[in-house]
């Protein structure tokens, strides 16, 4: 499948809503937490596949602000899984020249988790290959609201004029400020919604949905999504004739 990918037309940024861990576990007669444990290997595989292909940005939705409302037991288990994984995977990230970044309200994470992430971000900061962006305690509406507050503050006290506030300016106030907008969004598990993920940034993103639950997602499924993306015509409001000229 990899051979069918045109490496000259790769998406620069792929975002993934990794969904369906709980249902996968249920289908296997196991607890939801088991599904989360089985969700780690696909993260490794997809990061490696993206790095090998030469994709520059991969953003993974790992935990939403709304996910804090899940049963405490599940939230705790997810936090432990995050600490364990980040600790174990840092050498592999370095081996694969991957730089880790995070978006989201990471201050809300337990201190130990927060510190592990800070350390990994620092230890991988010199890597020049794939930028792996983990969305943790992330909510797009809260990110946009935060940006609005910052802009209001700059307009009130920082000498920013109302006419300076254009789309680029708004983008530069988001947590994704140095990251290009996603070209392709993948969501697993058959759900057809965005669940508060990168709403501003995905204005023109190509959407790809698959029924496969996240623990079953692998490199082949990732290649399939990219091949599908490469068959799309991105028109950005123009006519087909205009964009193929």
CA neighbor of 165 nearest in space, from 201, 140, 173: 173
Q: Which of 19, 21, 131, 183 is catalytic?
A: 19
Other beta carbons less than 10 A from residue 112's beta carbon: 12
Q: In what order do the strands lie in the sheet with 131-138?
A: 99-103, 131-138, 57-64, 13-17, 184-187, 206-209
Which DSSP helix (H) or strand (E) runs through 9?
none
Q: Which does 18 bind (CB under 5 to 8 A by kind): Mg ion, ligand IPE, none?
A: ligand IPE
Residue (68 or 169) nearer to ligand IPE, CB:
68
DSSP H helical ranges for the chain: 21-27, 32-37, 40-53, 72-95, 111-123, 140-157, 167-172, 219-230, 240-244
Residue ranges in contact with ligand IPE by CB under 6 A: 17-23, 61-64, 66-67, 78, 189, 191, 193, 195
Q: Which does 67 bind (CB under 5 to 8 A by kind): ligand IPE, Mg ion, none?
A: ligand IPE
Active-site residue, 19 included: yes
Q: Tell me how far apart the alpha carbons of residues 113 and 91 are, in angstroms, rounded to a whole number.
A: 17
- Say which residues have a Cβ less than 8 Å from residue 117's Cβ, sequence separation at least 6: 82, 86, 100, 102, 106, 109, 134, 136
Residue (64 or 205) nearer to ligand IPE, CB:
64
Site string for Mg ion, 7-36 (x = CB under 5 A): ------------x-----------------
Q: Which does 217 bind (CB under 5 to 8 A by kind): ligand IPE, Mg ion, none?
A: none
Site string for Mg ion, 104-143 (x = CB under 5 A): ----------------------------------------
The CA radius of gyration of the chain, in Å to the nearest whole number, is 19
Active-site residue, 67 included: yes
Count residues contacting Mg ion (CB under 5 A)?
A: 1
Q: Which of 6, 8, 45, 67 is catalytic?
A: 67
What is the phi/psi pair of residue 155, to 5°?
Answer: -75, -35
* Nearest distance, CB of residue 35 and ligand IPE, angstroms: 6
Could you tell me the CA-to-CA distances from 50 to 54, 158, 160 in Å, in that order?
A: 6, 40, 39
Nearest residue by C-beta to ligand IPE? 22
- Say which residues have a Cβ less than 8 Å from residue 172's Cβ, sequence separation at least 6: none
* Nearest distance, CB of residue 138 and ligand IPE, angstroms: 8
Q: Which does 146 bind (CB under 5 to 8 A by kind): ligand IPE, Mg ion, none?
A: none
Residue (53 or 136) nearer to ligand IPE, CB:
136
Site string for Mg ion, 174-213 (x = CB under 5 A): ----------------------------------------
Q: Annotated active-site positions, please? A: 19, 67
């Amino acid at each position: 499948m990899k051979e069918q990918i045109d490496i000259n037309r790769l998406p620069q940024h792929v975002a993934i809503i990794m969904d369906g861990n709980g249902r996968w576990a249920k289908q296997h007669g196991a607890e939801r937490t088991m599904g989360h444990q089985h969700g780690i290997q696909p993260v490794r595989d997809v990061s490696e596949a993206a790095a090998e292909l030469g994709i520059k940005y991969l953003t993974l939705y790992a935990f939403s602000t709304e996910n804090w409302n899940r049963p405490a037991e599940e939230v705790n288990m997810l936090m432990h899984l995050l600490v364990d994984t980040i600790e174990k995977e840092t050498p592999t990230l370095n081996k694969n020249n991957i730089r880790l970044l995070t978006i989201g309200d990471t201050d809300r994470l337990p201190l130990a988790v927060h510190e592990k992430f800070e350390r990994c971000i620092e230890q991988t900061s010199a890597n020049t290959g794939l930028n792996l962006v983990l969305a943790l305690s992330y909510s797009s509406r809260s990110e946009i609201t935060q940006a609005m507050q910052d802009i209001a503050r700059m307009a009130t006290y920082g000498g920013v004029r109302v006419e300076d506030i254009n789309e680029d300016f708004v983008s530069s106030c988001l947590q994704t400020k140095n990251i290009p907008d996603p070209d392709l969004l993948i969501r697993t598990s058959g759900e057809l919604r965005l669940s508060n993920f990168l709403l501003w940034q995905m204005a023109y993103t190509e959407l790809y949905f698959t029924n496969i639950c996240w623990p079953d997602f692998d490199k082949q499924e990732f290649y399939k999504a990219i091949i599908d993306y490469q068959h799309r015509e991105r028109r950005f409001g123009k006519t087909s004739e205009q964009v193929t000229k």
